Amino acid sequence: MLYVDTSVLVALCTHERKTADVLKWYAACRHELVSATWCVTEFASALGLKQRTGQLAPEQAQAAWSQFERICANDLQLLPVQAPIFHQAAMLILNASAGLRAGDALHLACTMDAGAKSMATLDLALAESARQFNVKSVAI
């Protein structure tokens, strides 16, 4: 089982610096892919930001959303986020040495709760924090 952070999903569905690498990784990936339902909100937020900053036209954002929905329906198991996971994320954030932001802490807590030993992320700070908690980062 491989936990997928929203940064990978955004690069998979929109044009970003790492999109070519992510597409190559995704095509070759044979792991069971999981993420938290939180990624749906975070993905929508990324699309909204890209539209507000002129990086995406509305029709491009809609195409990216449709692609994201197909990925969620076919290749990505979305895991529910229960109240104890939010508490676990809060405890991770309180560990100041980890340097986690709220969304990243929630992803890391979900990774650990799911029992995933690896995470696919493009967020270098999250990857470093994950290593502190014995979660390996997959190189993309």
* pLDDT tens-digit series, residues 75-96: 999 999 999 999 999 999 998 7
Helices 102-114 and 38-52: crossing angle in degrees, nearest 10, is: 150
Phi, psi of 80 (to 5 degrees): -70, 150
The amino acid at residue 106 is L
The CATH number of 2-138 is: 3.40.50.1010
Model confidence over 8-52: pLDDT tens digits? Answer: 999 999 999 999 999 999 999 999 999 999 999 999 999 999 999
Torsional class of 70: left (φ above 0), alpha (ψ -120 to 50), beta (otherwise): alpha
Which residues lie closer than 8 Å to 100 by C-beta, 6 or more apart?
A: 92, 93, 108, 125, 126, 129
| Residue-level pLDDT at 97 | 78
Give pTM, 2 decimals: 0.93
Domain boundaries along the sequence of the chain:
2-138
Model confidence over 109-133: pLDDT tens digits? Answer: 999 999 999 999 999 989 999 998 8
